[in-house]
Copies of this chain bind each other. A is one copy, B any other.
Amino acid sequence: MSDENRKPAATIRDVARVAQVSMTTVSHALSAKRPVSPETAERIQAAIEHLGYVPSSAARSLHAGKSLMLGLVVPDVSDPFFGRLAASVERAADEADYGVVLGSSSGASTREARYFNLLRSRSIDGLIYVAGAPRYDDRLSRLARRHPIVLADEWVEGLDGIPLAAADHEQGGRLAAEHLAALGHRDVAVITGPRGLRSADERVAGFRSVFPDARVVDGDFTEEVAYHRTAKLLGRGGAPTAIFASNDLSAFGVLDAARDHGLVVPRDLSVVGFDDVPLAQRVSPPLTTVRQPIDEIGRLATATLFEVIAGRDPGELERCPVELVVRESTAPSARTD
């Protein structure tokens, strides 16, 4: 559509003229800050619809000092996990008449700087920050002192005063362990996530609170490393009867390694994952895993951000309860000890 089709947008003054009232009355009809007679209100309404009038958001936020926009920075929107998180944040924001400005940091700090400036320029009233790694970020911590920020999903070093909305990873590890214990498993192993990643450490800690003697295998959340470490573990004598992988990707590596060693899951080896990615129910056998309440995390993060924006201190947030999804990769231990 070329320029000649674009009329200058209608202003409140245009509405006033058409409705034969003053700008003051139009404004008050919209905000209900002063009573307006039904007849007048109707005339104004008609004028608004006739002109297709919508108040200028720029003028509004200039006056009100807020933009009705939230920022959401995730490592990568194309990852289904963050996609679902974005969807739930957007839904929660929408209910409060807020919009969401999306940003993929993908680790690029120049990109992140842009979103921080959105906050400073009051383009957004608050920020939900989902860190890709728990590295300490000086700018983020300075920013958080002056602006409403909440963390979601992953903790960031040095930002302890800032609310964190996340799943109860420790409970997840515990649920996985209790499930295996109930199936009679005694000799179990756990594959960790990257060193220092808080969520990963919590999962392992939860698991070990039930199985203090579990064998600990270093992983990094990738399928490849999980595969090789598992292969090595199974190669030695006295293989465990169950393995808890601290994310689904690693569990897939375990599944592949088990198959390549001639083991049948779950007959010879039980496997539990974490995350419940879409793939989990499609691999064979379908993976028993721990599901994170993504929607709940997004909702909590958004609600908390509104609290912070309103100037209230939400305090330390409770972790969102996770859920064990039992599928077909776990079975009673065959070993009789």
Interface residues of A (CB under 8 A from B): 1-3, 5-7, 9, 52, 54-62, 67, 69, 72, 76-80, 82-84, 86-87, 90-91, 94, 99-104, 111, 114, 117-118, 120-123, 144-148, 161-162, 278-279, 282-284, 308, 311-313
Contacts of A145 in B (CB 8 A): 1, 5
How many copies of the chain does the oligomer comprise? 2
Contacts of A61 in B (CB 8 A): 58
Q: Looking across the interface, which residue of chain B has its beta carbon closest to that of A71?
A: B99
Contacts of A7 in B (CB 8 A): 146
Q: Looking across the interface, which residue of chain B has its beta carbon closest to that of A277?
A: B278
Contacts of A118 in B (CB 8 A): 57, 99
Select which of B278, B283, B311 is within 8 A of A2 by beta carbon.
Answer: B311
Q: Determine which residue in A56, A103, A161, A284 has the highest number of CB atoms from chain B within 10 A of its CB, and name it.
A: A56
Please measure, in the bound complex, the distance between the C-alpha atom of A56 and the C-alpha atom of B121, giving whole angstroms: 5
Select which of B58, B77, B84, B114 is within 8 A of A62 by beta carbon.
Answer: B58
Whether A90 contacts B62 by the Cβ 8 Å rule is no
Please measure, in the bound complex, the distance between the C-alpha atom of A84 and the C-alpha atom of B82, giving whole angstroms: 11
Select which of B104, B122, B312 is within 8 A of A9 by beta carbon.
Answer: B122
Whether A120 contacts B311 by the Cβ 8 Å rule is no
A317 to chain B, nearest CB (A): 15
